[in-house]
Structure 1
Amino acid sequence: MQSTILKVMEECDSHGVTIPVVAVTSGKPLATLIKEIAALKGKPFGVLHRGEAADPDRLQVELDKHQIATHFFFEGDCDNAYCDRWEFSNRVLLQDGFARQQRNADHRQGVDEEYSDLAYRYRRKGFEGYGDHTIVGEIFTPTGGGKAAITVAIHLTFQTLVANRPQSIWIRHFLSDDSTATAPRAVCVRQALDKLGRFINQHRRAFAFSTACQYFAGPPASTPSLGVLKRRSIKHHLELMSHLNL
């Protein structure tokens, strides 16, 4: 998965799609940030605010000297007054909507959980864009968390499917029935995949836009690997974000 991500990043960079980003945290010295900016040699860049600078006035003076493409703010890390220092800049609000669990088995099966309503309110807060961490969450581990998970879990995001429910993005977890280390992995994958396929087929119209869900609803003749399932789930989430009609 990590090699795939790096390959995509390199391809995007070669087409000028990506921009470098420097991070602001409450504990980072301004001198360190200035060095990081100098290393970019005049390239446009973004600023990720993962906390409020100790001296926001000096930070603002320094950043105003440069061509900044976008300011990214994690919701909850900075208050409104801090964010409004750059109210005339391109600003994006970020949120990690994925509720990470210690074990896959700890996810609630068959229950709709609220993932994020940020897509429905970022404009009201004065931001030009929003972002999240898909169905992976902010914490990234190259090996997927170390030891192979005993319970297989597939995560699917979707718009509100129930009348009178608040406008939001929801998530549901599809778990394998077998949860022992001796259970064949292919059997566990098929158990989770079959549950996901039934759910999608029950709501065909809601998922008609998603090519990833068309794959899940099949289901595929051969049992896919966990890596394939995760990539498809991420692809669906990106398709969902693109599909939103707000």
Structure 2
Amino acid sequence: MYYPYLRGKQFDLLALKELVKAGRLKKTIVPVIEPVKQSKTLLQTLEIFRQKGQPFYLIDNPQAGDFLTENGLETLQGLAQGHRAHIITANQGELHFHPEDLYIANSAQGLQDLPEAYRNGQFAAPFEMRILRQLIKAQGLILLQDPFTRLPRNSYYREYPDELFTRSHLTYEKQGFTGFGDFSLDSRIYYDQGYPDRDLCLHLVYPGDEQELRVHHFVSPEDPEDARLSQKEKFLQLIGEVDSWAKAGRLPETLGLRLLLKAYQEDRFPGMGVIRKGVIMHHLETMGMLLSD
């Protein structure tokens, strides 16, 4: 089972919603959503998940965002009913243990004071021995990794264009885990919004020769010395390379990739939000293909 951890931003939710509506999100993929924005899109996405019987978890104590008020947390308790996840923190106070819930263990400190009953639950945790030693009795232990290499500027990916993303889908059971997860093409560190960058970059995953999951960083060309390319020009040149990879069979066919290439065929820049949606959709669909194989 694969547990992608998503921060519940607008276009992340739209990616999930579109995949579920199209029947393209495998039941072996269980999104863990940390809601950071109060929006109709969140409510609509959760409603579609329930209608289609798509498994998911909704974190009831997010560590950032719009829900960090008493009313906001009460709202989440209702939304997460039957699909609740909880981040274990060092100073959280008393918890009511529910064996069907998922508990996120980010540090050993928060686990030290847990009653013994909690250790029989289901946990998602990084591969850190201080944490895993305390969760040895857990009924289900999910490996939650952060494999994406986040560089400070998109231009740096020109020197580092292709890399291994993960092999966890091949190894997690042998390591004693019941599932695995990651932060998709994001980071464990939350950021509300990105900073402007003169270069565009698309991070697209694809299966490697031994069925590991790799990621290629497609970067727009450098500006000429005597001019500065528009975002549309940069996108069209970048996506032209993506199109070549797709035609050569190096990228799997997905709805997300189709969404990106449609903009290329229509000679337009779709906007950064739509690009993010396409990248997330492509990632989840590709991982679903690997799990099926």
Distance 2:157 2:261 in 1: 22
Q: Which moves more between the two structures, 14-23 or 44-53?
A: 14-23
- Name the CA shift for 1:64/1:168 in 2 (closer, same or farther; >3 Å): closer
Correspondences of 1:61-80 after superposition (within 5 Å): 61-63=116-118, 68=121, 70-76=122-128, 78=130, 80=132
- Name the CA shift for 1:55/1:158 in 2 (closer, same or farther; >3 Å): closer
Q: Would you say the 8 A contact 1:198–1:217 is kept in 2?
A: no
Q: 2:109 aligns to what SS in structure 1?
A: coil
- Name the CA shift for 1:80/1:140 in 2 (closer, same or farther; >3 Å): closer
Correspondences of 1:50-89 after superposition (within 5 Å): 50-53=106-109, 56=112, 58-63=113-118, 68=121, 70-76=122-128, 78=130, 80-86=132-138, 89=139
Distance 1:136 1:179 in 2: 26
Does residue 158 of structure 1 match 2:206?
Answer: yes
Q: Would you say the 8 A contact 1:73–1:83 is kept in 2?
A: no
Distance 1:61 1:213 in 2: 46
Q: Which amino acid aligns with 2:234?
A: C
Does residue 137 of structure 1 match 2:192?
Answer: no
Distance 1:157 1:77 in 2: 29
Name 1:10's counterpart in structure 2.
43
Correspondences of 1:111-130 after superposition (within 5 Å): 111-130=161-180
Q: 1:123 aligns to what SS in structure 2?
A: coil
Q: Which amino acid aligns with 2:87?
A: A
For the aligned residue pairs, the C-alpha RMSD in angstroms reads 3.0
The CA deviation at 1:232 is 0.4
Name 2:217's counterpart in structure 1.
173
Gaps of 5+ in 2: 1-7, 14-36, 58-82
Q: Which amino acid aligns with 1:220?
A: Q
The CA deviation at 1:243 is 0.9
1:118-138 Cα distance to aligned partner (Å, 9 max, x none):
111111111111111112232
Give the counterpart of 2:252 among 207, 221, 234.
207
1:41-69 Cα distance to aligned partner (Å, 9 max, x none):
x695321111113764x52425269xx5x
Does residue 220 of structure 1 match 2:280?
Answer: no
Q: 2:238 aligns to what SS in structure 1?
A: helix
Give the counterpart of 2:276 among 226, 230, 233.
230
Q: 2:158 aligns to what SS in structure 1?
A: coil
Distance 1:99 1:129 in 2: 22
The CA deviation at 1:117 is 1.1
Q: Would you say the 8 A contact 2:104–2:123 is kept in 1?
A: yes
The CA deviation at 1:76 is 3.0
The CA deviation at 1:220 is 2.9
Distance 1:2 1:111 in 2: 26
Alignment length (residue pairs): 224
- Name the CA shift for 1:81/1:168 in 2 (closer, same or farther; >3 Å): same
